[in-house]
Structure 1
Amino acid sequence: MRLLGSVLGEVIEEQAGPDVLALVEAARVEAFRIRRSEVDRTGLAEQLAGLDERSANHVIRAFSHFSLLANLAEDVHHERRRRHHRREGSPPQKGSLAHAFDLLDDAGLDAATVARELQGALVTPVVTAHPTEVRRRTVSQVQRQVGDLIRQLDRSGGDVDPAWSGQLRRAVLTLWQTALLRLSRLRLSDEIDEALRYYELSLFSVVPAINTELRTELRRRWPDADLLPTPMLVTGSWIGGDRDGNPFVTADAVRRATTCQAETALRHHLAELVALADELSMSARLVTPTPALQELADAARDDSPFRADEPYRRALRGVYRRLAATAVRVLGQVPGPLPDVELPAYDTPEELIADLDTVAASLRSHGAGALADDRLTRLREAVEVFGFHLCGLDMRQNSSVHEEVLAELLAWAGVCPDYLALDEAARQELLTGELRLRRPLVGAHAELSELARGELDLLQAAADQIRLLGPRAIPNYVISMCGSVSDVLEVAVLLKEVGLVGVGADGRPSSPIMIAPLFETIDDLQAAGTTLAAMLDEPLYRSMVDGRDGTQEVMLGYSDSNKDGGYLAANWALYRAELDLVEVARAQGVRLRLFHGRGGTVGRGGGPSYEAIRAQPPGSVAGQLRITEQGEVIAAKYAEPDLARRNLEALVAATLESTLLSLEGLDGDAEDVYALFDDLAARARGAYAALVHETPGFVEWFRAATPVRELAELNIGSRPPSRKAGDKITDLRAIPWVFSWSQTRIMLPGWYGTGSALESWVDGDPDRLARLQELHGRWPFFRTVLSNMGMVLAKTDLDLARRYASLVPDAALRDLVFDQIVAEHERTCRMLLAVTGDDRLLADNPALTRSIRNRFPYLEPLHHLQVEMLRRRRGGDDGELTRRNIQLTINGVATALRNSG
């Protein structure tokens, strides 16, 4: 950090002048004095408040770059520590596959149990385009260049030569002269392209390697169980299919997303085939290939005399030509060198895998198994995981849109003039009747509204892409705000309109697409078990579930439930919902797969994934897990192979452990504990509601004290910040809600209400406090909830937050809301320490403590300048530089906090 800061200082002095560097350095020194409690904030705040916009811009950019480079130094340090542990032969770290297998070995599991529990095993990180990644791709590329240079320094043992120093200085200079802000809002096409680059950066190499290791280790332990016949770890995406509140997700977007994904996969496979053919130069004069390999070589129609005795090269040229033909069929072009001979296309990835297996078997037959185990095996695994489609694109839409569209179709078809007027029972009767009929409701030339035509066109595009790329291309349809059986049946009827639900001769529907309800609000989560039971009790819908191997996916929303009821109430509602869903699935004889809609922040379900998965209720993981990866978290986890490996291993390891081991630790005490937490959650929800939903003027306070309006102007995503126009908290998306609280350092969604719940329940009774302490010691759920909350509280700074509160013009309202926040913060910190027995926040996380100590001083000037620029703008200064400075501070604070949205 000192090295990078020194280079940045040199660049600032050269580019902006010694006066700017002196200003920046003075602010930096003062910020660290504030962090050490040597001075209060008044002096720095007054100094920065007196700056003109141009000087403020220099300071904001300087500290934004300081934060970015500090993050980079921290990441490289973590890599260095992991390498050190590996070299020293340290025990496997928690969250690694090696540690998970050690735990499984100690458990003494039998093959039958492992085979049963891991049947259909699936772990899927699903990339979403939610707008919290503030960095431009260009900035990320320069940052990666700096990271590579620091790694070179590590490898050299710290020897700095002039050439290396020159490269580092040029990289930092480039960073300084590169705009941190985008000139225009990201388009959906940009988001699609941005997500796909992580495959080349890490996923193409890491995902197949993890699947190979998983299979190898599991089958070595239980050789007779035939474990993981299909890959356990696969990838997914919402970008281009998630149209809930995003008008830019259209039929063209679905086609573009799936086509770009397929192009990425096929380009990778074709390039690997070229490299493999270069490597496998074996001569038939020296080895004897198998007849099957010779047949594959002969079918290649490769007449080159230079390869006459090189059967592997000829065979692989034939495989390349067939895959190129597949690319032409799917994409209309070849993303690689054009073949000079046309061969029939592969219809399925399995056909390509069969040819690769032929090559591998032949290599092993003449003692070249080591070659078969190298690039060829990696390519085979990549084809098995990524196919021709790369990843599954989920579709999502709000249940209210389905209602409106279907009402229009039913009216147009003369089936029902006013579907929206029907009660739930009548809706179900009508919808099941439609699902028994093969005819569509409307034809291609029906005169429909723009909304209805757009929805049908999008579904038709999905159907076309599934026919082209296979059912893995679009495997799931998620229903936002799902609260009834009719919400699910409406989607089934709409899918039937485009042929994605077929009706058999027995009148029963079937579909390749999983219809997944999303339960988001506290009330919907509390009713989730009842809703799922009603869905599965409907015979026609149940036949669709049975046709998909008896698996039903349910998505759980972490963001809206938190915005609705607060941190503890939302977490407990999710836990309770999972318990209910597991019980319903068990009673109905279906396999439940949960899809966790987690964000990057604790207020949106974030926090360490390994601990979060292990803290799930018994039976809720069951070998299957899907989880969203959002915003800035994507770059933090997948920009480098080492990072990707660590994070994906954590997902898989936690899934194995949660599935095969007993982790809850409540034993026969569970029902009493659940009742206790029902009580705590109700108290926490009441305290949260008293502030957020019941305090007069709270929305006005929130909009004045946070940069939520200015956040909407930041060009960081294609999706609008609100589902609909309005001035209510319920109208605002969870992401800008959480992002805004992070910017002010209040972090309210990650803790508010918990202190009141704990304090009022304990009520001074030492036995009750001891009960909570004992549960904290043995229950992963409670321990994880408090650990994540402690992390948020450690990042909270109410002295800084008070400066944001000063932006509220109504002094009485300002104090009314802020005094409640301060009191609850003190209460929450006090109760957290009482329950955990710690003497300070983050006592259980020294690494994060060190990170905050090193990085947070760089936040100090950014916060003061953000408040000042907000004050000026709201006072009438709406100049371009003022607006840009506000956006730069938002960018810089988000960069330093790392998980802000």
Structure 2
Amino acid sequence: MYTLPKIERFNQNVLSKYNIYNSVFITLPFDSIDNTGVMLPLFTDVCETGFKKQETPKEIMEFFSKKYLHSTNEKEQIDLMFRFIQYIERQIVLFDAIEDAAFPVVNNMEGRGSLRDIKEKADARGAKEELVAFLKDFNVRTVLTAHPTQFYPGAVLGIINDLTKAIRENDLLRIKQLLAQLGKTPFIKNEKPNPFDEAVSLIWYLENVFYPTSSDMIHYLQKNVFQGETVDNSIIKLGFWPGGDRDGNPFVTTEITLKVADRLRTSILKCYYMEVRRLKRKLTFFNVDVLIAELEDKLYRSVFYSQGDIFITLDELKSQLNKIKNIVVEQHESLYLDELESLIINVNLFGFYFATLDIRQNSRIHDAVFRDVFDYYQKNDPSVFPKNYYELTEAEKFDVLSNAKGNLNGADFEDVMTRSTIESIQAIKTIQAKNGEQGANRYIISNNESALNVMETLAMIRLTDWEQPTVDVIPLFESVDDLLDSHNIMEKLYTNPMYAAHLKNRGNIQTIMLGFSDGTKDGGYLMANWSIYQAKEALTAISRKYDVEVIFFDGRGGPPARGGGKTHKFYASLGPNIENKEIQITVQGQTISSNFGTLDSCRHNLENLLSAGVTNQVFNKTNNILSPEDKEVMGQLSELGYEKYLSFKNHPKFIPYLEKMSTLKYYAKTNIGSRPSKRSKSASLDFKDLRAIPFVGSWSQLKQNVPGFYGVGAALRRFEETGEWDKVQALYDNSMFFRTLLENSMMSLAKSFFPLTAYMKNDPEFGEFWQNIYDEFLDTKRLLLKIAGHKELMENYPDGKASIEIRERIVLPLLTIQQYALLRINELNKADKPDEALIKVYEKIVMRSLFGNTNASRNSA
């Protein structure tokens, strides 16, 4: 049977349906929308034509007002802008739902990267035994974080879910109802969510998407690869940050941490209860019905009648289910065995914890906390630390820390940060007692700069009367310098007797986290990615030297500038010199909803990650090795890109440009996440304290996407100018790692739109700075097209390109409105007596348009 090309499937199932349902939306009678549905297409055309004529957002807005409003009344203009924003926000939701509905049709669920594809390739290549051995030892861990990169409230996410189902079923009446509901549902939260609210929102995905998808995948492997044998290895693991990630978030308290852990346990028990209820209707056989009813009763009481008490242990639950399974197999012809095995798989996967709650804190906070702990012991027990501790060498400090014992209690400290840090360690113990060790057994140190950061953290954990802690200390290396030094830091730890003993107690496994987002912010696109690659190679070598199994945990965001893009291709391209027994990634914001938001997209993307590991270690294990010449070229490119990016970052107009010309300061005013937009409370903007999300997001709102390409063009141009282009061309042709890196940069370019801000080139303060960015954009675009042999960006991903183009057209009026509002704010601020009330109205317009622009960018993931 002939299958249509992917772009044609996209056009038929996404583009055509969007045009149809959008025309239905336009005709719905909304008081608040009025004639917006008629006016908006006209405004979109005026924007497109205006930018082609190199008009400014102000000129476009004024022309539209005169021609179609027949008025230059500012109040009327503002009212219309707000109505446009409301309408466009809902168009984006409609497009999201249509893309989600079409996902299994546009993407071949049984094609390349699927479990079926893995199995068939292994059969064809005679690698079945190798595949089985690999799957017994390999895991994919997706860690859900509450980083604010999507702004839909829960009610709107619910509508997207229902709308997706209605569109898939072509239920026009239901679609009209949901579009009407969408038109009347507020998109803006009046209050910031607290970390528990964020946790509850993400647990929805655990219950409704990851839970059924995980068991389906393991069940498939059990039946088709393991020939019915039970898979002991979990293969899929889930992690969770809301409620445990304290880095820069003062609203994460010990109470919230424990509350989130309790909610995770209740949620997984609820999932088991619902599955047991469904099974009870089927397993009505003699000797089985009583056992299943007993399980239902105990789970029901644990979920609905419990104040934290559990009326069944995990061992009891497993034992009872296996007993039922044996009776079904031996006495009842294995009737409904598949459904029963699905539940058993989930119980084995998720225990009573569902997802591991990670605790994270910044090394700078730890420094202050540790000094407080030191002062406490100087007063209460001077034998723990010598008085001259802070004058000792690093090695001498290690000796002291190795022997430190105590019974620290958070209640002993007045300082809030010290108290909460020690309480977070005590919370890990409490969670493990209730949810099992997997409930919380990882402590991540962000901005880790030294081995001492790790040793002092481990000492603090041991000082809470925890001689042999069942917790992994995970350093997070983020800056270019720290990535470069990371293997030396780990060698100091591996060779320390106390740390080595701790690792032995943890199975000689060391997890190391690497930060793409802050790496790019610090060193630019090429240097960040190459530094992480080199760090992984060096860390693999040093870990193998000391018989430690290293696991890399990648802090990735949605857009390419934050480690997103075609993520699975990175893992498939790593080669044998980088340990890859587990793929661990953070998943956040619109990446959760776009990549893991439905059963189809979740399965497709989890299978692709699993397939990437198989490709790298089973099918292509001798491929993807960068030669010394390749590494030299990569090193030169990253150094050239780094020089260009550093000169840009150190430009005197860099920070002022972000503060005055972008939406950066508005991120702090949005009610989208519990976490502040920068780490410090200082009024002035310190680049080091700036979080990667508002940094990357501000460039995205400007449609300049600087972090995803700046320095790439300068690096490639040097090779072109020196007549060595063949070197980079060969690297692109032969290295999947480098090719994926540049393809993701092309995505950043494809989502840029410089006509929007072209008016800035005439700005007396920032004109030269804007031109600098635009020149690098043009250079990068020209050279990336040259190296790929393409005429257009992303031409090898026509469906992705088409999706971006539609989304960009939907938000073009929104972007124009935002820039117009920013221009008006600057004008009003320059007046002798600024109209504060009017400035606040325009600031509200900027923030509202910020939401829609970000939500529309979900396909950056």
* TM-score, normalisation: structure 1: 0.86
Q: Does 1:46 align with 2:12?
A: no
Q: CA deviation at 1:533?
A: 1.4
What SS does the corresponding residue of 1:840 show, helix, strand or coil? coil
**Segment drifting more, 586-595 vs 422-431:** 422-431
Question: Which segment drifts farther, 167-176 or 625-634?
Answer: 167-176
CA drift of 1:429 comes to 2.2
Give the letter aligned to residue 319 of structure 1.
L
Q: Which residue of 2 aligns with 1:302?
A: none
Q: Tell me whether 1:395 sits opposite 2:359 in the alignment.
A: yes
What displacement does 1:644 show?
A: 1.3
Residue 494 of structure 1 pairs with residue 460 of structure 2: yes
Within the candidate set 177, 181, 186, 1:179 is matched to 186
Q: Which amino acid aligns with 1:864?
A: T
Match for 1:433 among 386, 390, 403? Answer: 403
Once the 2 structures are TM-superposed, how far is the Cα of residue 366 of structure 1 from its aligned partner?
A: 2.6
Please state whether the residue corresponding to 2:246 is helix, strand or coil.
Answer: coil
The residue number in structure 1 matching 2:698 is 740
Q: Among 183, 193, 197, which residue is 1:190 paired with?
A: 197
Instruction: For 1:118 and 1:663, locate their aligned partners in 2 and report how far apart those are by CA, in whole Å.
Output: 15
Note if contact 1:614-1:663 (Cα within 8 Å) is conserved in structure 2. Answer: no
Alignment map for 1:22-421 (pairs within 5 Å): 22-31=38-47, 44-47=60-63, 52-82=77-107, 92-109=110-127, 111=129, 114=131, 117-153=134-170, 164-220=171-227, 228-282=231-285, 284=286, 311-323=287-299, 331-332=307-308, 345-347=311-313, 349-374=314-339, 376-414=340-378, 415-417=385-387, 419-421=389-391
Aligned residue identity for 2:120: D
User: What's 1:889 paired with?
Assistant: 849
User: Which deviates more, 708-717 or 349-358?
Assistant: 349-358
Structure 2 partner of 1:8: 25
User: How many angstroms apart in 2 are the aligned matches of 1:328 and 1:620?
Assistant: 47
Percent identity over the alignment is 24
User: Could you tell me which of 855, 858, 867 is aligned with 2:810?
Assistant: 858
Give ranges in structure 1 of 5+ residues lacking alignment.
87-91, 154-163, 285-310, 335-344, 503-509
Listed as ranges, the gaps of 5+ residues in structure 2 are 1-17, 66-71, 379-384, 829-833
Alignment CA distance shift 1:804-1:54 (3 Å) = farther
Q: Does 1:712 align with 2:737?
A: no
Q: Distance between the aligned counterparts of 2:26 and 2:54, measured in 1? A: 24
Moved more, 749-758 or 271-280: 271-280
- SS of aligned partner of 1:186: coil
AA aligned to 1:661 is F
- Residues of 2 paired with 1:96 and 1:110: CA distance? 16
Per-residue displacement from partner, 1:34-60 (whole Å, max 9, x unpaired)?
79x699677634335756211111112
- What aligned pairs does 1:513-532 form with structure 2 within 5 A after superposition? 513-532=471-490
The answer as to whether partners of 1:894 and 1:900 remain within 8 angstroms in 2 is: no
2:679 maps to 723
* CA distance, structure 1, for counterparts of residue 698 and residue 335 of structure 2: 54
Query: Which deviates the most, 40-49 or 523-532?
Result: 40-49
TM-superposition CA deviations, 1:310-340 (whole Å, max 9, x none): x322111222344456669985257xxxxxx
Residue 495 of structure 1, CA deviation: 1.2
- 1:491 & 1:413 partners in 2: Cα distance? 16
**1:89 alignment partner in structure 2:** none
- Report the CA distance shift for 1:864/1:453 in structure 2 as closer, same or farther (over 3 A): same
Deviation string 1:485-525 (CA, Å, 9 cap, x unpaired) is 211111111111334x42xxxxxxx3211111111001111
1:667-706 matched pairs, under 5 angstroms: 667=625, 670-692=627-649, 694-706=650-662
Deviations 1:275-298 (A, max 9, x none): 22222112x4xxxxxxxxxxxxxx
1:565 deviates by: 0.6
Task: Tell me the TM-score normalized by structure 2.
Answer: 0.90
Distance 1:629 1:453, change over 3 A: same
Q: How far apart, in 1, do the equivalents of 2:29 and 2:276 lie?
A: 48
Question: Cα distance, 1:580 vs. partner?
Answer: 0.6
Paired with 1:144 and 1:760, the residues of 2 have a C-alpha distance of: 49
Q: CA deviation at 1:106?
A: 4.1
Say if 2:836 is the partner of 1:836.
Answer: no
State the alpha-carbon separation in 1 of the partners of residues 696 and 242 from structure 2: 21
Change over 3 Å in CA distance of 1:48–1:679 after alignment to 2: same
Partners of 1:278 and 1:397 in 2: CA distance = 47
Secondary structure of the structure 1 residue equivalent to 2:142: strand
Q: CA deviation at 1:419?
A: 4.5
Cα-Cα RMSD: 2.5
Distance 1:48 1:728 in 2: 40
Corresponding residue number in structure 2 for 1:563:
521
Equivalent AA in structure 2 for residue 492 of structure 1: L
Render the CA deviation track for 1:471-493: whole Å, top value 9, x for unaligned: 10002111111122211111111
CA distance in 2: counterparts of 1:102 and 1:38, whole angstroms: 54
Whole-angstrom distance in 1 between the partners of 2:796 and 2:485: 36
Q: Secondary structure at the match of 1:79?
A: helix
Displacement of 1:266 in angstroms is: 0.8
Q: Structure 1: how far apart are the matches of 2:747 and 2:709? A: 10
The answer on whether the counterparts of 2:356 and 2:441 sit within 8 Å (CA) in structure 1 is yes
Give the Å deviation of 1:872. Answer: 2.5
Paired AA for residue 55 in structure 1: L
- CA 1:678–1:392 in structure 2 vs 1: closer, same or farther (change >3 Å)? same
Q: How many Å separate the matches in 2 of 1:79 and 1:322? A: 38
Letter in 2 for 1:405: V
| Kept in 2: contact 1:131–1:716 (CA 8 A) | yes
Q: Distance in 2 between matches of 1:447 and 1:516?
A: 25
Partner of 2:726: 770
Secondary structure of 2:236's aligned partner: coil
Distance 1:878 1:605, change over 3 A: farther
Letter matched to residue 5 of structure 1: N
Deviation, 1:702, is 1.4
2:573 counterpart (611, 615, 628): 615
Alpha-carbon distance change, 543 to 333 in structure 1, aligned in 2, over 3 angstroms: closer
CA contact (8 A) 2:246 2:360 kept: yes
* AA of the residue aligned to 2:308: G
State the alpha-carbon separation in 2 of the partners of residues 392 and 277 from structure 1. 30
Structure 1 distance, partners of 2:309, 2:128, is 50
Do the aligned residues in 1 keep the contact of 2:192 with 2:672 (CA within 8 Å)? Answer: yes
Change (3 A) 1:466 1:568: same
Question: How far apart are 1:705 and its partner, in Å?
Answer: 1.4
Query: Shift of the alpha carbon at 1:243?
Result: 0.3
The CA deviation at 1:458 is 2.1
Whole-angstrom CA distance in 2 between matches of 1:803 and 1:114 = 57
| Mapped partners of 2:824, 2:54: distance in 1 | 26
Counterpart among 742, 751, 765 of residue 813 in structure 1: 765
What's the CA shift for 1:269? Answer: 1.1
Per-residue CA distance 1:173-215 (angstroms, 9 max, x = gap): 2211222111111111110100111123212211111122223
Q: SS of 1:202's equivalent?
A: helix
Tell me the amino acid that sits aligned with residue 66 of structure 1. Answer: Q
User: Are the counterparts in 2 of residues 742 and 900 from structure 1 also a CA contact under 8 Å?
Assistant: no
SS across alignment from 1:813? coil
Distance 1:421 1:736, change over 3 A: farther
Offset, 1:107: 4.0
Shift of residue 748, structure 1, vs aligned partner: 0.5
Going from structure 1 to structure 2, the CA distance change for 1:596 and 1:329 (only over 3 Å counts) comes to farther
